[in-house]
Amino acid sequence: MTASAMQQSVPETIDWLIDREQERFRRTHPRSFEDWRKGQAHFLYGGPSHWMRRWAGGFPVYAAEAKGAHILDVDGNAYVDFALGDTGGMCGHAPEAVTEAAVRQLRRGTTMMLPTEDSLWVGAELSRRFGLPYWTLTTSATDANRGAIRIARMITGRPKVLVFSGCYHGGVEEAHVEIRDGKVGLRNMIHPNGVNHAAVSKVVEFNDVEALERALADEDVACVLTEPLMTNFGMIPVADGFHAALREITRRTGTLLIIDETHTISSGPGGYTALHGLEPDMLVAGKAIAGGIPAGIFGTSQAVAERLWKIVPKVDPRVRQSAHLGIGGTLAGNALTVATMRAVLEHVLTPANFETMIANASRLADAARHVIETHQLPWHVTQTGARAEIMFMPRPPKNGAEVIASRRGDLETLLHAFYMNEGILVTPFHTMFLMCPATSAADVDRHTQVFSRFIDLVREAGVV
């Protein structure tokens, strides 16, 4: 067979392997398949959230119960869970401290639109961990990002938000843009909805200091919204000196810097920001911060708070306060969320637990690298803190353009389907592995065995 003919046959081979794994999945998950069929009758996209349709088996597993780093589905299949709810379950499933705090607060009331004394502890702990003095609680990281953006626009008077191509910051409209083939468009097959993104967004490639300098020179950007390193487009490490340049340029141009730690909180107790001494004007986190109970947080520097108070003053007890920030939600900061957030910060996401989680991430990453090197495959593994990712390209990408040019989405789909059939769950949007305090060395070694079998599968098929 000629090289050209072999190249043409590979997609057909991969498609055949994917079809085979999906058929195996369907045979071993009959009850999940039937539940998914029933869900089509009442949910817009089959499940309670449209995200749930994106698993590579062709339909999602229906979960029966979860504990620690393991899930049991309605068909009786067991899984080692490295997806952990795409970070929402980073504390592990049903951690005892969170469960006890939630049950205790449920008996005392979940939401009264009044503060509880737990909030005093939580506020002080957030400041201690992340280094910013003032905090607001929301119901999701998306809402936290929206709130931070709105405040940035209020105090700067500027209309635009700059993001990096390939980013993900939840349902934030300004972040739904990317650069593809040199042109700015909507990312991830998001459909237009009437928003003029040219009026509200700027987008440049991550790690590109010169492009950042040019984009901020007009001083029409209220804030840069970024992860400290990119995790949602395949992990893209930060280049040496980029954070220093980002902070210097934003300060010089009067642009606020918002760092979104929703994923990178896996780096340690204070996230990547505390670990590397970053100095954001605002910081956002969510997902794991309340142990899986919906929650988000954003903090502000002293300077940002003082600028905001000039526009919306602190409460004067003699005046009925009708003015608000245009953000919030009745359930934001509810008593149940605050109680579980305290349990997470006090008992779960502790330095000792992070040490264990990071050690297991290193164990997984090192073992995966060894398997890749043994088979001389053009793949790499990236790790940051308790998170690691296998990518089917020779070296870590430096920006979103390199991910677009080199990504093997077909191999990712095949790996996800094969893993589910072998009792391993990873987040379906990329090949990223997250550890929780309950993840064990045996769980990691189980992954190494399954990864080795996956390599045997694709090599025998001539896919790589």
Convert 20-76 into a string of H (helix), E (strand) and C (coil). HHHHHHHHHCHHHHHHHHHHCCCCCCCCCCHHHHHCCCCCCCCEEEEEECEEEECCC
State residue 1's pLDDT score: 40
Q: Is the pLDDT of residue 188 over 80?
A: no
State residue 433's pLDDT score: 98
CA distances to 119, 228, 312, 321, 322 from 316, rounded to whole Å, are 21, 38, 11, 8, 11
State residue 3's pLDDT score: 44
State residue 279's pLDDT score: 98
First and final C-alpha spacing in the chain:
16
Residue with tokens 């005093």: 120
Q: What is the mean pLDDT of residues 203-229?
A: 98
State residue 322's pLDDT score: 57
State residue 365's pLDDT score: 98
State residue 277's pLDDT score: 97
Q: Are 420 and 55 in contact (CB under 8 A)?
A: yes
What does the alpha-carbon distance between residue 432 and residue 26 come to, in Å, rounded to a whole number?
Answer: 24
Comparing 449 with 328, which gets the higher pLDDT?
Answer: 449
Q: Is the pLDDT of residue 148 over 50?
A: yes
- 301: pLDDT confidence band, cut at 50, 70 and 90? very high
State residue 6's pLDDT score: 46
Q: Are 135 and 369 in contact (CB under 8 A)?
A: no
Q: What is the mean pLDDT of residues 81-110?
A: 97
Question: Residue 65 forms beta bridges with which residues?
Answer: 72
Q: Is the pLDDT of residue 71 over 50?
A: yes
Q: What is the mean pLDDT of residues 177-193?
A: 85
Residue with tokens 């339909």: 59
Q: Are 59 and 36 in contact (CB under 8 A)?
A: yes
Question: Residue 68 forms beta bridges with which residues?
Answer: 93
Q: Is the pLDDT of residue 321 over 80?
A: no
The share of the chain scoring above pLDDT 90, in percent, equals 86
Comparing 314 with 81, which gets the higher pLDDT?
Answer: 81
State residue 319's pLDDT score: 64
Q: Which pair of tokens denotes residue 60? A: 């999602």
Minimal CA–CA distance to 290: which of 327, 250, 344, 246? 344
- 4: pLDDT confidence band, cut at 50, 70 and 90? very low
State residue 187's pLDDT score: 82
User: What is the layout of strands, in order, in the sheet containing 63-67?
Assistant: 63-67, 70-73, 78-81, 424-425
- 327: pLDDT confidence band, cut at 50, 70 and 90? confident
Give CA torsion, residues 21, 24, 26, 29, to 10 deg.
-120
State residue 180's pLDDT score: 85
Q: Are 10 and 408 in contact (CB under 8 A)?
A: no
Q: What is the mean pLDDT of residues 30-43?
A: 97
Q: What is the mean pLDDT of the chain?
A: 94
pLDDT tens-digit profile of 353-368? 999 999 999 999 999 9
State residue 145's pLDDT score: 98
Q: Is the pLDDT of residue 9 over 70?
A: no
State residue 313's pLDDT score: 85
State residue 318's pLDDT score: 67
State residue 8's pLDDT score: 54
Minimal CA–CA distance to 403: which of 175, 110, 207, 173? 207
